[in-house]
Structure 1
Amino acid sequence: MGRIKKKRASRDARRQSGARPLAPPPFPEGEIERVMRLWDRAIDSGLMADGAEVKYHLGPDGTVLSAAVGRSGQVLANGERLIPSVADRLRAEMPLLAGMVTFYENNQLAGRGLEGAPEDGVLPLPDPAGPGPMPLLDEKALADAQAATAVLVRQGKVSEPVGAMVIPAQRGGVLFAVGGRDGELYVNGRALTRSWADELSTKVPELSSDVDRLQAMRAEWLDGPPEDRTLALAGACTDRNCLTPH
C-alpha cells in the first residue's frame, strides 16, 4: 500500500490545479514516508481496510495531512480517528493546513466522509480574513444559562463555571458549556444527551454545528474513565467569535 499511495501522492502533487507558489517547496519525502507508516499501522490494527482511498494535502511548510474513511465510517486523519482532541492537535501542529483539518471534521459531523475534498497536492493558501462581527450577546439567554449552571454547582456536579465555553448566536440565544467533575459535559445547565442536543439545535439552529462539536467532545470524554473536566473546554473553541474562556 505504501508504495502505491506514495507514487499517487507524488503524481498528484505535480499535476495539481489552481494557484501555485513561484518557487514550489521541495516534495516532503520524509514526511510522506512517516505518514505512510501511520496508515500501515491503521490497516494492521483493523482501523481501515487495505487499499482504501487516501487523500493527501501538502502544506507549503513541508507538513502533510492525509485523510481516509475507516471501517466504521469515521473519518481518519494521518492514521488516527478524527476525534476533537486529534483535530485540535493537528490544527496546532500544521496551522497552514488547519482549514483542511476543519473541513474533514465538518464532513465527519455531516456523515460525508471525503466528499468534496480538493485534489491532492499543495493547496494555495486562502486570503487572510479577520474575524466576523461579534454578535450582540443575548444577556437574558446568558443569565438563564448561568443560573441553570449555578444549580449544577450547588449540586456538586460542576466545580465552578470557570473555563466555560460561551457561544452567542447572531439572532439571540447562547450556548454555555462547562465540564463536570464526573466527566460529563453540561450545556445550559443540562448534560448534553442526544435529546437535549436536538432540543438546543431546534432552539438555536444557527449554532447546531457547535452543538454537534460539543457532542463529539462529550462522546470522547465518556469513552474514558470519569475525571474532573472543569477546565477542559478552556481554549477549545476554534470559532473566532467564540467567547472563551469566560
Structure 2
Amino acid sequence: MGRYAKRAKQARRDKRRLKDGLSMGGVPPMFRAEFVRIAAAWDRAVEAGLMADGAETKYHLTPDGGVLSVAEGRSGQVLANGERLTPSVAERLRREMPLLAGMITFYENNQLAGRGLAGAPEDGVMPLAPPCGPAPMPPLDKEALAQAQAATAVLVRQGKVAEPVGAMVIPAPRGGVLFAVGGRDGELYVNGRALTGEWSEELRAKVPELSSDLDRLQAMRAEWLDSPPEDRTLALAGACTDPNCHTPH
C-alpha cells in the first residue's frame, strides 16, 4: 500500500513540475539540467512545509537557458525556484537571469500586494525585448556648431586641413558640440585644435556628457599618430558608425 501511495505522490510532483505540456521530453535540451535542479528545490520546499504538494507552479524560460519557476506558499508568500522571494533572493535572481529581471520584479510586487501569481503570463519561453534603437538625437547647438566650424575654417586657411572636410559632429544633450576633422599632417583636430591631452580635458569640462566620445577620439588620434603621417582630411567621413552622430557625410 505504501508503494502505491509513493507512486501517487510522485505523479503529483511530476504534474507540478512539468504541467501544461512542459514534459521533460518536450523541454529543449538546454533547459533540462535546470529543470531537474529546480524540481529538486521544489521537493525540498514541500518537505519543509513551505508549499503544498501539487501546488500550481509556473515556469518562465529565457532564450539563453534561464528558468524561473514560481509558486504560492502555504502562508501566501511567493516562492521562486524553491525559495521564499525575499529581497535578497530577488536581487540574486535578477543578477543570475537579467532577461527575467522584470518578471522577478512583477512577482515581488504581487507579493507585496497579496496577489500571489495573479496576472502572471502563461508558462513558456519569454520573448527577448526588441532591440533598442539609438537614443533620441539631442538638439544641435547651432551657435556652438558655428563656432567650431569657424575654428576649423582657420585650419583650412592655414593649410592644416584640406577641403572638403569630412567631419564628425557630436552634439551634447545640454548644449555644446564636438566637431572633429582629420588633418593633412595626420593630426586629429576637434573644435579647431589638435586633440592633445590638455585640450581634451578642457573639452571634457565644457561638455562632460561627451567624455566617452572624447575617449574614442583620443584613441583614434593615438592610432593615427602611431603610423606615418598621411592626409586624414576625409578619414572621418567613413569612420563614424555612431547612430547619434550629426555629420555631413
Determine which structure has the larger helix proportion and give its number: 2
User: Which has the larger Rg?
Assistant: 2
